[in-house]
C-alpha cells in the first residue's frame, strides 16, 4: 500500500510539472490576445474618429488578434508606410507574409479590392506594445494622412465637389 501511495504522489507531482508550463503558456497567450485586441480596438476607434474617409477592412469580430487593416482614401500606401516609418511607427501595405514589401496586398487585389489594396495599411500589435504606443500613433497618424492627401489631385477634386 505504501508504494502505491508514493507512486500516486509522484505521478501527481510529475503530472503537474508536465501540465503547468503548457497551462501557463496558454493563459499568457490568452491574456496577450485579449490585451492585443483591446489595443487594436483602441487604435481603430481612434483612427476612425480622428481621420475622415477611413474604413476597417474585413470582419471586425472574426480575425487575427492584434492586427488591423485600415483603408485611407486618397493616399498611396507606400508613401504612408515610409512617412510613418520616419516617425517611428511600423506598418505595412501587405500581408505579414510579404513583410518588407511595398506592394499592395495581394489578398485584397485577388478579391477585387484593387483600389483599397493601394490605400490600405496593416497595423500589427505585439506583446511589447503599450497604451502609450497607441497614443503616439494616434498623435502622429492624422497629420501624416492630411499631408499625403494634400498631395493628391483626386482628394482636392473630391473636396471641391462636396
Just list the catalytic residues.
97
Cβ contacts of residue 89 below 8 Å, gap of 6+?
136, 137, 140, 141
Is the Cα torsion angle 91, 110, 103, 71 positive or negative in sign?
negative
| Helix/strand/coil percent split, the chain, to 5 | 65, 10, 30
Is the Cα torsion angle 9, 15, 20, 23 positive or negative in sign?
negative
C-beta neighbour count of 47 within 10 angstroms = 22
DSSP state of 102: -
Q: Buried b / exposed e across 133-149, counting CB within 10 Å, b at 16+?
A: bbeebbeebeebbeebb
Q: How far apart are CA 84 and CA 140, in angstroms?
A: 8
Amino acid at each position: 500500500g505504501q508504494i502505491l501511495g508514493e507512486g500516486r504522489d509522484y505521478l501527481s507531482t510529475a503530472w503537474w510539472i508536465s501540465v503547468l508550463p503548457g497551462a501557463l503558456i496558454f493563459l499568457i497567450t490568452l491574456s496577450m490576445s485579449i490585451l492585443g485586441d483591446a489595443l487594436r480596438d483602441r487604435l481603430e476607434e481612434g483612427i476612425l474618429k480622428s481621420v475622415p474617409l477611413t474604413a476597417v477592412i474585413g470582419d471586425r469580430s472574426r480575425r487575427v488578434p492584434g492586427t488591423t487593416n485600415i483603408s485611407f482614401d486618397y493616399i498611396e500606401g507606400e508613401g504612408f508606410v515610409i512617412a510613418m516609418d520616419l516617425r517611428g511607427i511600423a506598418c505595412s501595405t501587405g500581408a505579414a507574409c510579404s513583410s518588407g514589401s511595398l506592394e499592395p496586398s495581394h489578398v485584397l487585389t485577388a478579391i477585387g479590392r484593387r483600389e483599397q489594396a493601394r490605400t490600405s495599411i496593416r497595423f500589427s500589435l505585439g506583446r511589447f506594445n503599450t497604451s502609450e504606443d497607441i497614443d503616439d500613433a494616434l498623435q502622429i497618424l492624422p497629420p501624416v494622412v492630411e499631408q499625403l492627401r494634400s498631395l493628391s489631385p483626386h482628394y482636392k477634386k473630391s473636396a471641391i465637389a462636396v
